[in-house]
Chains A and B, each alone.
Chain A
Amino acid sequence: MTEFKMDLTRRRVLACAAGFGLAAPFINKAALGQTPSGQIRVWTFMSASGTSPRERVLRAIIDEFQAKHPGTTVVVESQPFQELETRYVAAIAQRRAPDLIWLRDTFLSLVVDRNALADLNEALTPEFRRDALPDMFDVFAQKSVFAGKRISLPLWPTPAQIIFYRKDALREVGLTAPPLDWARFTDVAANLTKGPRFGFGLPTSDNSVSAFINIMSGFGPQIFDPATGRMDLTGAQALETAEVVRQLVARKAVSNTLLNAMGDDIQDQFAAGRFAMAQAFSARFQQYQQIASGYDGRELAVSAWPSFGGRPPAVLLGPYWTVGLSPQTQNKVTAVAFLEALYSREASLRWAKDAGLVPDRRSVLSDPFFSQPAAEVANEYQKLLAGQGAFVFPQRIPDITRIFTVLNTALQKLIGTDAPSRTILTEAKATLGW
Chain B
Amino acid sequence: MNVATTRQRNAAGSADPAAATRRTGLALVVPALAVVVAVNVLPAFFGFYSSLRAIFFFGDDGFVGLRNYAQLFADPSTWQAIRRSLVFTFGSLALAVPLAMLAAIGIRKLGAWGRVLLTVLLIPWAMSPIVVALLWKWILLPSPGGLLASILAVFGIPPINLMSNPDYAMPTVIAVGVWRTFAFAAIILTAGLGQIPADLYRAASVDGLTALERFRRITMPLIAPSLLIVLSVLTISYFNEVQIIIGLTSGGPIHSTTTLGYLLFEVGFVELNQGRGNAIAIVMFLINLLLIVGYVRLLGGGRK
Binding site for B on A (CB under 8 A): 82-83, 86, 89-90, 93, 110, 113-114, 196, 204-205, 207, 257-262, 269, 272-274, 401-402, 405, 409, 412-413, 416-417
Contact = CB atoms under 8 A, between A and B. Distances in A.
Interface of B: 57-59, 142-145, 159, 161, 163-166, 169, 248-250, 252-255, 266, 269-273
B271 A416 contact: no
A252 to B, nearest CB: 14
Task: Among A90, A204, A401, find the residue whose CB has the most chain B CB atoms closer than 10 A.
Answer: A401
A412 B271 contact: no
Given A113-B59, A114-B59, 11 more contacts: A86-B58, A110-B57, A113-B57, A114-B58, A205-B250, A205-B252, A257-B142, A257-B159, A262-B250, A412-B252, A416-B166
A260 B252 contact: yes
Contact of B254 (A261, A405, A413): A413
Contacts of B269: 83, 86
Nearest to A294: B144
Contacts of A412: 252-254
A405 B266 contact: yes
A89 B57 contact: yes
Nearest to A195: B144
A204 B250 CA distance: 11
Nearest to A107: B57
A166 to B, nearest CB: 16
29 contacts: A83-B269, A86-B272, A89-B57, A110-B272, A113-B57, A113-B59, A114-B59, A196-B143, A196-B144, A204-B252, A204-B253, A205-B252, A257-B142, A257-B159, A257-B161, A259-B164, A259-B166, A260-B163, A260-B248, A260-B253, A269-B145, A272-B143, A274-B144, A402-B271, A405-B270, A409-B252, A409-B255, A413-B254, A416-B253
B250 A257 contact: no
Contacts of B169: 260
Contacts of A272: 143-145
Contacts of A269: 143, 145
Contact of B143 (A86, A113, A262, A274): A274
Contacts of B250: 205, 260, 262
- Rank and list the top 6 A-B pairs by shortest CB-CB distance, nearest first: A259-B253, A257-B161, A259-B164, A401-B271, A205-B250, A412-B254
B175 to A, nearest CB: 16
B149 to A, nearest CB: 9
A273 B145 CA distance: 10
A86 B163 CA distance: 29
Contacts of B249: 260
Task: Among B163, B166, B254, find the residue whose CB has the most chain A CB atoms closer than 10 A.
Answer: B254
Contacts of A93: 58
Nearest to B161: A257
A285 B50 CA distance: 43
A330 B166 CA distance: 52
B270 A401 contact: yes
Contacts of B270: 82, 207, 401-402, 405
A260 B145 CA distance: 17
B164 A258 contact: yes
Contacts of B266: 405
Given A260-B252, A412-B253, A405 B271 contact: yes
A114 B57 contact: yes
